[in-house]
């Protein structure tokens, strides 16, 4: 009895499952650890924040808290030409205490992935995406799921903030 | 070992003491002879030392102890408070502060104190008169420790009370308590003893009856056994005796009296009482008083025995008692020994506090309605937890005592544990408990020594104590969870009553044991009297601690009870004769036998007097009814109601009339004695009730947030109201029938009314919450005297610091933010502003410079001024510097007035100082000040008259979280401008705006003000077109002058709650945060300073851009 239990535990350990929320931007499938996801909302009223980095769409009022919303497509420098109509999903993520919203094309489903199935990001660009934002990739139903590193995404944007701020100080449209 | 839970409290408490001490030390420097200051410092040191010892901080305790000794030497005049000594004391204070910082950080005392201890000791040892205080200072003698500690803890709690008195009082309380608790115990054991050994007497009665009954019955029982008399007879005498002596405790005694009667049924009068207790009370009492006379006569004969007893008490209690006890049954032998010594030694000391408090109790009754002191739940929880743990520990030891060989040794851990318990209960202010521990400790101590000497000794008392504590404990626990429920207090009182029963019982026992050969039944009178006296200190003791011991409900209620009873009988009596009687009686019983005889008539006289004075004013005060009712339930006996009590009074009076006249002089004498003691007591009770509580600031912040939300919701309601009015208008236009329209109008009206009342309430709520966060700025200002003092020394300047308006209140958060800026300004003022004494003399100023810190309110702002009467700021120097830095052309600078020029000193790296020193001159200070103040939405202004003064004025909004703001709209975007920055709003004609160097400007009252379009600054669309003729402009004040922002629409003023933006959105964005406005929309709050900077920079860049472009185009050509 005890043996089977122990072995079951070991099995569970071996095939340690990671649950991910899958979402799409364009044709690519991305995943984010489900534990990071605070909620998923649609059609929020986004208030534009002037002089903010380009990828910041604005802020939303989430039950009294003011939360910045980042356009993930812009943030990841994915091709922005094919703006689809239903781009109104916002993933609210809690990234090390910083609650931030990310606009994605649509949220697909919760995906369970065995941890050992996730492979480190390849050296080359995946879908025009720098590998620094990628935690790993794994194959699901013949498609490549990109496991994003949101800590990195938010960290880099701080650096970016500074540069983009100095760029944007000068309004050309006077 | 440091107790973390207590550490936090210690840090807070010590911080306060240190603050006070610093202030006192600073003033001591100028006024070394001031006794009051010395006392203050001494007290603070003492408090710190006591608390440190308690918490277990050896270094703090050591340092403060030596410093205290030094101070004591100064205080007694053995040493002069020289500058050196004050400096060392100051350093010691700093060191303690460092130690406390250590504690906050790492919970250990890291910093060494040896050097300062040495220094202090050196000062103490050298000097003109080296006293014997020195040896004791080097190390705190362990033997004194306990005593000292109690002393000090008490002063810690009593605060202002002279220490001597405090010590004295504690002594009294202590002895009372010891008496109380040991009685209790002895009572129990003796009850057992009586059960087994005196079976020939009619004992069952005593067991059937309640606690209060025990009070009377039991004391008599042992005597009965020894003296071979009719128990019932003497019991009757006892009770009447008590009754006549003790109107104060009338109800109590009455209870026992009645209980006695109804239970024994053997006395002639008792049948009457039990038949119709209410009607025939009078006659019963009369009878009692008749008996009284007879008893007194016989008392005289027993006096020698009493006198002997008193002497014995003084000399060698234990041994005498041992002898006396030997005659008792063997069961008595072991138990009574340790128990008896405490009560007896207590007796002589009881009288003093007892007397003086009684009148106070009756006169100060309204006091009970005052709000009770706040009760630290958290601390209490810890305390209870500790109590639980320790008790189980002691329990274990006690259990093991029965089997161990080396009893003395196994008691040692118990002592440690009880000591710890005592400290914690002392810390919590439960003096009753503390005293209980003290007695317990001394008991164990004795037992230990007995054991070492192979003396016969029972450790039974350990169990008794444990049991007692376990009894108290659930009550405490209940109190912690739900305060002040009647059941608890009632049971608490019950318990106390039981204690008294035991107490009385034991007292009786002690008295009886001594003159065993004296077999007159009258002998019993005295012993029974004693308990009543011994009982009396209870209220006084409670009065003592009442101010501090808020949660000791049993004491509270008992006090209320006794004082109410007191007043019911003695209402309108100016003096309190009853107490004198006790006093005299007690004194007599101690000193000489004839005195007792003298008291006898006196007693009667006083009673008579009391009742005579009652007669003109027969009605009892309201509370009596209430309390009497309570007593009824509490004692669980058939106590008379108020009506009975009044009857009783009458009865007393009647009884007295039958008695002999008394000696007036004696009463007067007693009167005097009483008045002499009374003022002393007054002080303790006058102690101001502490009404403040400590709350986690997070809780207040969250409350504040919620209130903020409420304000926002209110705003949306207002908006709705507006919409309804519009709707009403629309409906009217659409041709709605008048009848239906009327309904709509009525609804709109009611809605409006409701909103107005909502608005009013929420406004009040907001204000209320805001005031909670407000703290007097004294908190801030009090940090600076030391800084000024130190800086004055390093700069060799003479400076007087004036602090004004320190009671001005300000948001706590702002106070913290202001600390550094003000330090900078003070450093500047002392470093640059104020001249040296020589320079000042030369320029005809007084040598001592004045530095003024002032705070005052100005509408919605608080203004803080730092002013010095120094050399002022030289505008020429600034001009030169600005020119040298290439900031402006000399023409521009020449045009600037001094105010504008003074703004330069706040620019980074702008210093007019010729040389850089340790204090100032790097040109960073004012820049930092400015940054900090702007962060608070405040503004800064420098005003200086060359050679006369410099004033730096900080203008800061009262609070940070909610600000009044102007709401503006640009296209679909809403922005909020803090009203604090808004100078005015204008509707400007297009023709009034001109373009200068690509910047739109307008002339307003002779000034040129740059105008920036928000739509341009923010790169957003705008409703405004080139064809628009009118613009809305918001003129705002920035650090660098006025600026206008052009908007599409002005929406109005609103209170907004500032919410932070993500840092990457807030930094350098021109926004200081965001707020949620009506309809859940977000409006960004404009940081006018930052935005105008951004705007100006962009103008400059654009300018340069254009220049380079034009250059490029020139090149192309």
Lowest mean pLDDT among B324-338, B391-405, B729-743, B999-1013: B324-338
Express each pLDDT in B936-957 by its tens digit.
777 888 888 888 888 888 888 7
Lowest mean pLDDT among B620-624, B830-834, B1010-1014: B620-624
Which residues of A fall within a CB distance of 8 Å from B1017? 50-51, 171
**Per-residue confidence band for B619, with pLDDT thresholds at 50, 70 and 90:** very low
Mutate to test the interface with A, among B1010, B1082, B1098, B1109 (most CBs of A within 10 A): B1082
Max mean pLDDT range (A120-124, B178-182, B793-797, B1111-1115): B793-797
Kindly state whether B1057 is in contact with chain A, defined as any CB-CB distance less than 8 angstroms. no
pLDDT at position B1103 is: 72
Task: Please choose, from the candidates B712, B708, B754, the residue with its C-alpha nearest in 3D space to the C-alpha of residue B1078.
Answer: B712
CA atoms of A98 and A93, how far apart (whole Å): 8
Whether pLDDT at A125 is above 70: no
pLDDT at position A92 is: 92
Structure tokens at B378: 């958290």
Lowest mean pLDDT among B337-341, B775-779, B803-807, B887-891: B337-341
For residue B963, the SS3 value is strand
Closest chain B C-alpha to A157 CA, distance in angstroms:
8
Helices (H), B107-141: 114-125, 133-138
pLDDT at position B88 is: 81
Task: Please choose, from the candidates B217, B214, B210, B243, the residue with its C-alpha nearest in 3D space to the C-alpha of residue B231.
Answer: B217
pLDDT at position A161 is: 53
Structure tokens at B276: 């119709």
CB neighbourhood size of B78 (10 A): 16
Which has more confidence, B165 or B1115?
B1115
pLDDT at position B528 is: 37
Strands (E), B780-902: 799-804, 809-811, 849-858, 861-868
Whether pLDDT at B973 is above 70: yes
Kindly state whether B1021 is in contact with chain A, defined as any CB-CB distance less than 8 angstroms. no
CA atoms of B668 and B677, how far apart (whole Å): 15
Which has more confidence, B1090 or B374?
B1090
Kindly state whether B1025 is in contact with chain A, defined as any CB-CB distance less than 8 angstroms. no
Which has more confidence, B406 or B881?
B881
Whether pLDDT at B557 is above 80: no
| Widest Cα–Cα separation across chain A | 78
Closest chain B C-alpha to A64 CA, distance in angstroms:
7
In this complex, which of B1020, B1065, B1067 lies closest to A56 when CB atoms are compared? Answer: B1065
Which residues of B fall within a CB distance of 8 Å from A98? 1062
Closest chain A C-alpha to B1075 CA, distance in angstroms:
8
Whether pLDDT at B1080 is above 50: yes
Kindly state whether B1071 is in contact with chain A, defined as any CB-CB distance less than 8 angstroms. yes
**Between chains, do B1082 and A51 touch, taking CB under 8 Å as contact?**
no
Lowest mean pLDDT among B284-288, B563-567, B820-824, B891-895: B284-288
Kindly state whether B795 is in contact with chain A, defined as any CB-CB distance less than 8 angstroms. no
**Between chains, do A66 and B1061 touch, taking CB under 8 Å as contact?**
yes
Which residues of A fall within a CB distance of 8 Å from B1101? 169-170
Structure tokens at B37: 């200051």
The H or E element spanning position B872 is none
Kindly state whether B877 is in contact with chain A, defined as any CB-CB distance less than 8 angstroms. no
Average pLDDT score over residue span B172-179? 40
Structure tokens at B556: 């509270």
> Mean pLDDT across chain B, nearest whole number?
63
Closest chain A C-alpha to B816 CA, distance in angstroms:
25
Kindly state whether B703 is in contact with chain A, defined as any CB-CB distance less than 8 angstroms. no
CA atoms of B800 and B29, how far apart (whole Å): 13
pLDDT at position B914 is: 54
CB B543 within 8 A of CB B361: yes
Whether pLDDT at B279 is above 50: no
Say which residue the tokens 């500058």 belong to: B83
CA atoms of B877 and B891, how far apart (whole Å): 15
> Mean pLDDT across chain A, nearest whole number?
75
Closest chain B C-alpha to A46 CA, distance in angstroms:
9
**Between chains, do A49 and B1081 touch, taking CB under 8 Å as contact?**
no
**Between chains, do B1017 and A59 touch, taking CB under 8 Å as contact?**
no
**Between chains, do B1070 and A48 touch, taking CB under 8 Å as contact?**
no
Which has more confidence, B558 or B1098?
B1098
CA atoms of B850 and B798, how far apart (whole Å): 9
**Between chains, do A52 and B1069 touch, taking CB under 8 Å as contact?**
yes
* Cα B106 from chain centroid (whole Å): 27
Dihedral (CA of B717, B722, B724, B725) sign: positive
Which residues of A fall within a CB distance of 8 Å from B1018? 50-51
pLDDT at position B1034 is: 92
Please state whether beta strands A143-148 and A89-95 pair in parallel, antiparallel, or not at all (unpaired): unpaired
Q: Which pTM was predicted? A: 0.40
Closest chain B C-alpha to A29 CA, distance in angstroms:
28
Whether pLDDT at B629 is above 50: no
Structure tokens at B595: 């005195």
Which residues of B fall within a CB distance of 8 Å from A68? 1061-1062, 1064-1065
Structure tokens at B714: 């209110």
**Between chains, do A49 and B1069 touch, taking CB under 8 Å as contact?**
yes
What single-letter DSSP state applies at residue B658?
T
Chain A residues interacting with chain B (CB cutoff of 8 angstroms): 45, 47-53, 56, 59-61, 64-68, 98, 100, 157-158, 161, 165, 169-171, 173-174
pLDDT at position B260 is: 40
The H or E element spanning position B953 is strand B949-957
Lowest mean pLDDT among A103-112, B352-361, B869-878, B1078-1087: B352-361
**Between chains, do A68 and B1065 touch, taking CB under 8 Å as contact?**
yes
In this complex, which of B709, B973, B1069 lies closest to A64 when CB atoms are compared? Answer: B709
Average pLDDT score over residue span A83-98? 76
Alpha-carbon distances of B371 from B376, B543, B686, rounded to whole Å: 15, 16, 15
Which has more confidence, B90 or A92?
A92
Express each pLDDT in B474-505 by its tens digit.
555 444 444 433 344 334 434 544 444 444 43
CB B9 within 8 A of CB B379: yes
pLDDT at position B975 is: 92
**Per-residue confidence band for B720, with pLDDT thresholds at 50, 70 and 90:** confident
Question: A70 forms bridges with which residues in the sheet?
Answer: A56, A102
pLDDT at position B623 is: 43
pLDDT at position B519 is: 37
Express each pLDDT in B654-673 by its tens digit.
444 444 444 444 444 444 44
The CA R_g of chain B, rounded to the nearest whole Å, is: 40
Q: Could you write out the DSSP letters of every residue in B995-1027? A: EETTEEEEEETTEEEEEEEHHHHTT---S--TT
Kindly state whether B1065 is in contact with chain A, defined as any CB-CB distance less than 8 angstroms. yes
B22 conformational bin, left if phi > 0, alpha if psi -120 to 50, beta if neither: alpha
Whether pLDDT at B986 is above 80: yes
In this complex, which of A59, A157, A170 lies closest to B1101 when CB atoms are compared? Answer: A170
Q: Could you write out the DSSP letters of every residue in B681-721? A: HHHHHHPPPP------HHHHHHHHHHHHHHHHHHHHHHHHH
CB neighbourhood size of A13 (10 A): 9
Closest chain A C-alpha to B835 CA, distance in angstroms:
45
pLDDT at position B1076 is: 83
Whether pLDDT at B153 is above 70: no
Give the residue from chain A lying closest to B1017, CA to CA. Answer: A171
Give the residue from chain A lying closest to B1058, CA to CA. Answer: A66
Average pLDDT score over residue span A11-24? 76
Lowest mean pLDDT among B11-15, B232-236, B1100-1104: B232-236
**Per-residue confidence band for B736, with pLDDT thresholds at 50, 70 and 90:** confident
CA atoms of B100 and B63, how far apart (whole Å): 13
CB pairs under 8 A between A and B: 89
Interfacial B residues in 710-769 facing A (CB < 8 Å): none
pLDDT at position B50 is: 80
pLDDT at position B966 is: 92
3-state secondary structure chain A: CHHHHHHHHHHHHHCCEEEEEEEEECCEEEEEEHHHEEEEEECCCCECCCCCCCCEEEEEEECCEEEEEEEHHHHCCCCCCCCCCCCCEEEEEEECCEEEEEEECEEEEEEEEEHHHCECCCCCCECCECHHHEEEEEEECCEEEEEECHHHHHHHHHHHHHHHHHHHCCCCCC
Closest chain B C-alpha to A83 CA, distance in angstroms:
21
In this complex, which of A45, A50, A161 lies closest to B1018 when CB atoms are compared? Answer: A50
pLDDT at position B967 is: 92
CA atoms of B92 and B67, how far apart (whole Å): 7
CA atoms of A97 and A69, how far apart (whole Å): 15
**Between chains, do B1061 and A174 touch, taking CB under 8 Å as contact?**
no
Closest chain B C-alpha to A155 CA, distance in angstroms:
11
Whether pLDDT at B869 is above 80: yes
Whether pLDDT at B817 is above 60: yes
Lowest mean pLDDT among A103-107, B29-33, B1109-1113: B1109-1113
Give the residue from chain B lying closest to A56, CA to CA. Answer: B1065
pLDDT at position B1021 is: 85
Say which residue the tokens 């410092």 belong to: B41
Which structural domains are found in chain A, ordered by start? 17-168 (2.40.50.180)
pLDDT at position B1028 is: 75
Please state whether beta strands B799-804 and B849-858 pair in parallel, antiparallel, or not at all (unpaired): parallel
In this complex, which of A49, A65, A98 lies closest to B1084 when CB atoms are compared? Answer: A49
Dihedral (CA of B278, B282, B283, B286) sign: positive
pLDDT at position A124 is: 65
Q: Is B1111 exposed, middle or buried (0-12, 13-18, 19+ CB in 10 A)?
A: exposed
CA atoms of B828 and B834, how far apart (whole Å): 9
pLDDT at position B466 is: 67
**Per-residue confidence band for B213, with pLDDT thresholds at 50, 70 and 90:** very low
């Amino acid at each position: 009895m005890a043996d089977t239990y122990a072995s079951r535990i070991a099995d569970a350990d071996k095939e340690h499952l990671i649950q991910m929320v899958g979402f799409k931007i364009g044709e690519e499938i991305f995943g984010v650890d489900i534990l990071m996801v605070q909620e998923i909302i649609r059609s929020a009223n986004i208030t534009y924040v002037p002089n903010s980095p380009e990828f910041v769409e604005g802020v939303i009022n989430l039950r009294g808290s003011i939360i910045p919303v980042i356009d993930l497509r812009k943030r990841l420098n994915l091709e922005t030409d094919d703006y689809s109509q239903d781009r109104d999903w916002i993933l609210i993520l809690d990234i090390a205490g910083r609650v931030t919203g990310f606009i994605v094309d649509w949220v697909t489903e919760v995906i369970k992935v065995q941890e050992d199935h996730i492979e480190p990001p390849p050296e080359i660009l995946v879908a025009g995406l720098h590998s620094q934002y990628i935690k790993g990739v794994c194959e699901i139903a013949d498609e490549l799921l990109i496991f994003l590193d949101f800590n990195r995404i938010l960290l880099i944007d701080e650096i970016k903030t500074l540069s983009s701020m100095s760029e944007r100080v000068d309004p050309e449209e006077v | 070992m440091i107790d973390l839970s207590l550490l936090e409290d210690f840090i807070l408490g010590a911080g306060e003491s240190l603050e006070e001490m610093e202030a006192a030390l600073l003033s001591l420097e100028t006024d070394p002879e001031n006794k009051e200051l010395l006392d203050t410092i001494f007290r603070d040191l003492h408090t710190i030392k006591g608390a440190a010892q308690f918490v277990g901080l050896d270094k703090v305790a050591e340092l403060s102890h030596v410093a205290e000794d030094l101070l004591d030497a100064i205080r007694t005049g053995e040493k002069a408070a020289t500058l050196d000594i004050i400096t060392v004391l100051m350093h010691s204070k700093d060191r303690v502060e460092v130690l406390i910082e250590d504690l906050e950080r790492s919970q250990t005392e890291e910093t060494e104190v040896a050097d300062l201890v040495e220094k202090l000791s050196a000062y103490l040892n050298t000097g003109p008169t080296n006293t014997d205080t020195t040896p004791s200072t080097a190390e705190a003698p362990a033997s004194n420790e306990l005593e000292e500690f109690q002393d000090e803890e008490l002063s810690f709690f009593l605060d202002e009370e002279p220490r001597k008195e405090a010590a004295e009082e504690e002594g009294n309380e202590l002895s009372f308590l010891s008496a109380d608790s040991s009685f209790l115990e002895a009572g129990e054991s003796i009850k057992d003893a009586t059960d087994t050994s005196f079976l020939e007497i009619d004992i069952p009665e005593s067991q059937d009856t309640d606690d209060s009954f025990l009070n009377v019955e039991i004391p008599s029982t042992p005597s009965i056994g020894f003296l071979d008399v009719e128990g019932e007879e003497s019991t009757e005498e006892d009770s009447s005796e008590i009754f006549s002596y003790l109107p104060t405790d009338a109800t109590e005694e009455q209870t026992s009296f009645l209980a006695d009667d109804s239970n024994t049924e053997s006395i002639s009068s008792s049948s009457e009482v039990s038949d119709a207790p209410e009607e025939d009370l009078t006659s019963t009492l009369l009878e009692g008083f008749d008996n009284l006379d007879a008893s007194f006569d016989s008392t005289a004969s027993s006096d020698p025995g009493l006198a002997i007893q008193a002497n014995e008490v003084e000399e060698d209690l234990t041994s005498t008692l041992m002898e006396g006890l030997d005659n008792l049954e063997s069961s008595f032998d072991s138990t009574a020994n340790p128990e008896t010594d405490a009560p007896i030694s207590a007796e002589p000391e009881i009288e003093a506090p007892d007397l003086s408090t009684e009148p106070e109790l009756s006169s100060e009754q309204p006091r009970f309605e005052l709000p009770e002191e706040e009760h630290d739940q958290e601390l209490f929880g810890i305390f209870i937890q500790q109590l639980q743990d320790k008790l189980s520990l002691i329990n274990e030891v006690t259990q093991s005592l029965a089997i161990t060989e080396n009893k003395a040794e196994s008691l040692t851990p118990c002592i440690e544990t009880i000591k710890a318990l005592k400290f914690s209960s002392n810390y919590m202010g439960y003096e009753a408990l503390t005293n209980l521990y003290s007695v317990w400790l001394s008991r164990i101590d004795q037992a230990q020594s007995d054991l070492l000497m192979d003396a016969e000794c029972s450790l039974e008392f350990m169990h008794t104590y444990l049991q007692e504590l376990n009894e108290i404990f659930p009550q405490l626990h209940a109190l912690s969870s739900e305060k002040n429920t009647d059941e608890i207090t009632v049971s608490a009182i019950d318990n106390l009553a039981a204690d008294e029963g035991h107490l009385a019982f034991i007292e009786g026992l002690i008295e009886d044991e001594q003159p065993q050969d004296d077999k007159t039944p009258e002998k019993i009178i005295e012993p029974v009297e004693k308990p009543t006296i011994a009982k009396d200190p209870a209220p006084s003791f409670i009065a003592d601690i009442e101010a501090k011991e808020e949660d000791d409900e049993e004491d509270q209620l008992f006090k209320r009870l006794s004082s109410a009873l007191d007043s019911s009988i003695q209402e309108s009596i100016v003096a309190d004769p009853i107490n004198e009687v006790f006093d005299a009686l007690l004194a007599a019983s101690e000193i000489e036998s004839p005195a007792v005889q003298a008291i006898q008539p006196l007693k009667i006289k006083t009673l008579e007097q009391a009742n005579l004075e009652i007669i003109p004013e027969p009605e009892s005060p309201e509370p009596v009814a209430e309390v009497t009712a309570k007593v009824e339930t509490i004692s669980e006996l058939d106590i008379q109601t108020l009506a009975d009590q009044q009857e009783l009074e009458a009865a007393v009076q009647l009884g007295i009339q039958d008695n002999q006249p008394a000696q007036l002089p004696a009463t007067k004498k007693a009167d005097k004695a009483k008045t002499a003691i009374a003022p002393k007591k007054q002080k303790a009770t006058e102690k101001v009730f502490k009404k403040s509580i400590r709350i986690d600031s997070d809780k207040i912040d969250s409350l504040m947030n919620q209130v903020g939300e409420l304000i926002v919701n209110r705003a949306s309601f207002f908006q709705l109201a507006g919409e309804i009015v519009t709707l009403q208008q629309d409906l009217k236009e659409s041709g709605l029938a008048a009848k239906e329209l009327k309904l709509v109008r009525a609804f709109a009206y009611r809605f409006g009314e409701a909103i107005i009342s909502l608005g009013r309430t929420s406004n009040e709520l907001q204000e209320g919450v805001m005031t909670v966060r407000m703290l007097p700025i004294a908190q801030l200002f009090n940090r600076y005297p030391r800084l000024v003092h130190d800086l004055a020394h390093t700069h060799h300047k003479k400076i007087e610091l004036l602090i004004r308006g320190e009671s001005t209140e300000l948001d706590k958060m702002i106070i913290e933010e202001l600390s550094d800026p003000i330090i900078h300004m003070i450093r500047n003022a002392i470093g640059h502003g104020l001249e040296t004494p020589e320079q000042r003399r030369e320029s005809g100023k007084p040598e001592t410079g004045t530095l003024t810190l002032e705070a005052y309110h100005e509408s919605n702002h608080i203004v803080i001024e730092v002013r010095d009467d120094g050399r002022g700021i030289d505008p020429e120097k600034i001009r030169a510097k600005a020119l040298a830095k290439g900031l402006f052309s000399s023409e521009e600078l020449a045009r600037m007035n001094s105010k504008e020029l003074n703004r330069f000193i706040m620019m980074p790296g702008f210093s007019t100082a010729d040389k850089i020193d340790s204090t100032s001159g790097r040109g960073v200070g004012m820049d930092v000040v400015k940054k900090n103040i702007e962060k608070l939405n405040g503004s800064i202004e420098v005003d200086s008259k060359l050679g006369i003064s410099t004033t730096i004025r900080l203008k800061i909004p009262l609070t940070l979280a909610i600000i009044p703001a102007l709401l503006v709209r640009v296209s679909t975007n809403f922005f909020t401008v803090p009203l604090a920055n808004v100078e005015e709003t204008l509707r400007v004609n297009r023709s009034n705006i001109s373009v200068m160097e690509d910047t739109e400007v307008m002339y307003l009252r002779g000034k040129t003000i740059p105008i920036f379009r928000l739509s341009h600054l923010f790169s957003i669309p705008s409703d405004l077109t080139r064809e628009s003729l009118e613009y809305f402009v918001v003129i705002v004040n920035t650090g660098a002058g006025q600026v206008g922002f052009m908007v599409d629409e002005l929406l109005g003023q609103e209170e907004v709650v500032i919410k932070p933006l993500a840092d990457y959105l807030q930094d350098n964005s021109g926004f200081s945060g965001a707020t949620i406005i009506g309809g859940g929309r977000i409006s960004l709050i404009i940081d006018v300073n930052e935005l105008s900077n951004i705007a100006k920079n962009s103008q400059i860049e654009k300018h340069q851009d254009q220049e380079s472009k034009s250059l490029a185009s020139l090149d192309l050509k």
